[in-house]
């Protein structure tokens, strides 16, 4: 596939008809995408939408545009004219870009409400969408994927981020007829992290003031890395793409180095942690002592534990240099890194040139992320969503959401608390008043219509 993509990108470049890309959200991830687009013949970043003008300018510069080569546009007609004239566009929001000559919109705002609106608008205009904001995907991605099919365009999660990196291992294993026991990503979560505060998240993760400003880091987003919500969200996205559920609420997330993966992610009767095969989970790079990091951990990477019913294949697993379980039954596949933003142009090219997605949710969600109280909640509190001060998320099978009446994490942004909820308890949907203008809620309702 990569050879085919390269040939078609080269053809676009030779014809001077590069794929025109719009970017919604010019934070750290979005700017990395912009910078990588500049390295690839056959792609052109034509527009950036961000209410922060300085951020948008930095992304355009990263994409190779010089001062004076872009225009600030506040209407669709101005954006169309600017791109037609060969200029780049700087817009306050993605709605300005919906009727512009853009083939692919990369949604990287990080805010599920905004991301859902941006993706929906682009799809309805016949633009492909590459979704970086995984928080939106797990909240209503199946509705967006359905709309993409209706419009004859592509909805895709972004290559380079963990969910698609995991999907690449999953697809490789399935294409070879191997049996997937468990798939997941690494984490680096310490015992007190679940209740982490965004005000202290960046320092806790090692970023000083200079780095925070230079890299334009979002403290709440980075706090979702620290408190574990992001990993739960990303594995929910993987679950909804593959149909593999979590083995239990929140998953096991054991301390595990590379050599332990194939032994821990096995059925209990084989000495492992799992009640069943074919699940999503996490491997924590922090040791059982809660203080030190494990040697050869996979905190920044992705993994899959696979097996085969054929004895010859299992023997080959042992002799070809893989990490194999002590009983010789399972093999760990892994990639110790993921390249956020750098690989995303592959999803852009796949969508525009092949009409293919790097990964998208199935028609019906397998899992949901449940909203949990990070502290005691009182009537009158306003929930602040993933990575905030009041809420964290845990994955569970989708049917438990309705069965137990729990608020999905994606609807916890701006929801008003009406009834007290104790810390570390799931938030009942009846205990809050969801924002009436929630576009995520609207898409979830539409997706429920068959």
Q: Across all residues in the chain, what is the average pLDDT?
A: 95
pLDDT in tens, 199-250: 887 777 788 778 777 777 888 888 898 999 999 999 999 999 999 999 999 9
Residue 84, judged by CB atoms within 10 A of its CB (0-12, 13-18, 19+), counts as exposed
pLDDT value at 448 more than 70 = no
* CATH code reported for the domain at 367-447: 3.90.1210
Structure-token pair, residue 270:
């084989």
Where in the chain do CATH 3.90.1210 domains reside? 367-447
Q: How far is CA 123 from CA 11, 87, 142, 254, in A?
A: 26, 24, 13, 39
pLDDT above 70: percentage of residues in the chain: 99
pLDDT at 199: 81
Asked if CATH classification 3.50.50.60 holds for the domain at 2-160+341-354, the reply, yes or no, is no
Read off the tokens for 262.
């194939």
Q: How confident is the model at residue 369 (pLDDT cuts 50, 70, 90)?
A: very high
CATH 3.40.50.720 boundaries in the chain: 2-160+341-354
Residue 446 has a pLDDT of 83
Residues 6 or more apart in contact with residue 326 via CB below 8 angstroms = 263, 271
The Cα–Cα gap between 259 and 126 comes to 47
What is the SS3 string spanning 373-442?
Answer: ECCCECCCCEEECCCCCCEEEEEEEHHHHHHHCECEHHHCEEEEECCCECCCCECEHHHEECCCCCHHHH
- pLDDT at res. 447: 67
Task: Give the residue-averaged pLDDT of 435-447.
Answer: 89
Question: Band of the pLDDT at 388, cuts 50, 70, 90?
Answer: very high
CA atoms of 261 and 244, how far apart (whole Å)? 18
pLDDT confidence bin for 180, thresholds 50/70/90: very high
φ, ψ of residue 107 to 5 degrees: the values are -95, 110
pLDDT over threshold 50, residue 450? no
Over range 292-300, report the average pLDDT. 95
Classify strands 323-324 and 330-335 as parallel, antiparallel or unpaired: antiparallel
In angstroms, rounded to a whole number, what is the distance separating the alpha carbons of residues 136 and 410? Answer: 7
Mean pLDDT of 424-434: 97
For the segment 51-80, what is each residue's pLDDT rounded down to a tens digit?
A: 999 999 999 999 999 999 999 999 999 999
Q: What is the pLDDT of residue 73?
A: 96
pLDDT digit string (tens) for 103-128? Answer: 999 999 999 999 999 999 999 999 99
Q: Tell me the C-alpha distance between 309 and 302, whole Å.
A: 24
Q: Is the pLDDT of residue 379 over 60?
A: yes
Report the C-alpha gap between 43 and 19 in whole angstroms: 5
Q: Positive or negative, the Cα torsion across 109, 111, 116, 121?
A: negative
Q: How far apart are CA 119 and CA 105, in angstroms?
A: 8
Q: What is the mean pLDDT of the segment spanning 362-387? A: 97
- % of the chain with per-residue pLDDT over 90: 89
């Amino acid at each position: 596939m990569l050879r085919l993509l390269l040939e078609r990108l080269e053809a676009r470049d030779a014809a001077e008809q590069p794929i025109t890309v719009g970017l919604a959200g010019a934070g750290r991830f979005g700017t990395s995408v912009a910078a990588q687009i500049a390295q690839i013949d056959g792609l052109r970043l034509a527009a950036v939408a961000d209410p922060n003008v300085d951020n948008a300018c930095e992304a355009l510069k990263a994409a190779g545009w010089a001062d004076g080569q872009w225009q600030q546009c506040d209407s669709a007609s101005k954006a169309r004219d600017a791109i037609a004239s060969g200029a780049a566009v700087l817009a306050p929001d993605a709605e300005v870009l919906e009727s512009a000559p853009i083939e692919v919109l990369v949604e990287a705002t990080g805010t599920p409400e905004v991301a859902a609106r941006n993706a929906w608008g682009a799809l309805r205009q016949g633009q492909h969408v590459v979704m970086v904001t995984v928080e939106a995907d797990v909240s209503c991605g199946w509705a967006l994927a359905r709309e993409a099919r209706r419009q004859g365009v592509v909805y895709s999660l972004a290559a380079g981020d963990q969910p698609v990196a995991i999907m690449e291992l999953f697809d490789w294993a399935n294409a070879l007829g191997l049996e997937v026991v468990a798939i997941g990503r690494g984490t680096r979560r310490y015992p007190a992290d679940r209740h982490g505060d965004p005000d202290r998240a960046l320092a806790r993760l090692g970023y000083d003031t200079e780095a925070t400003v230079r890299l334009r880091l979002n403290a709440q987003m980075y706090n979702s890395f620290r408190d574990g919500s992001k990993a739960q969200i990303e594995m929910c996205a993987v679950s909804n793409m593959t149909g593999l559920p979590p083995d239990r609420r929140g998953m096991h997330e054991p301390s595990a180095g590379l050599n332990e993966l194939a032994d821990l992610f096995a059925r209990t009767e084989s000495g492992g942690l799992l009640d069943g095969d074919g699940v999503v989970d996490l491997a924590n790079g922090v040791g059982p002592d809660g203080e030190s990091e494990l040697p050869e951990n996979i905190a920044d990477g992705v993994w899959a534990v696979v097996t085969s019913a054929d004895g010859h294949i299992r023997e080959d697993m042992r002799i070809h240099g893989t990490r194999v379980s002590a009983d010789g039954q399972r093999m760990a596949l892994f990639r110790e890194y993921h390249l956020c933003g750098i690989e995303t142009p592959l999803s852009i090219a796949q969508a525009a040139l092949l009409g293919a997605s790097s990964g998208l949710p199935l028609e019906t969600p397998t899992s949901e992320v449940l909203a949990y109280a990070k502290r005691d909640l009182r009537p009158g509190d306003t929930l602040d969503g993933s990575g905030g001060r009041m809420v964290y998320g845990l994955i569970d099978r989708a049917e438990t959401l309705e069965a137990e009446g729990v608020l999905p994490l994606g609807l916890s942004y701006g929801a008003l608390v009406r009834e007290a909820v104790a810390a570390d308890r799931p938030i009942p949907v009846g205990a809050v008043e969801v924002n009436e203008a929630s576009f995520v809620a609207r898409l979830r309702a539409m997706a429920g219509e068959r």
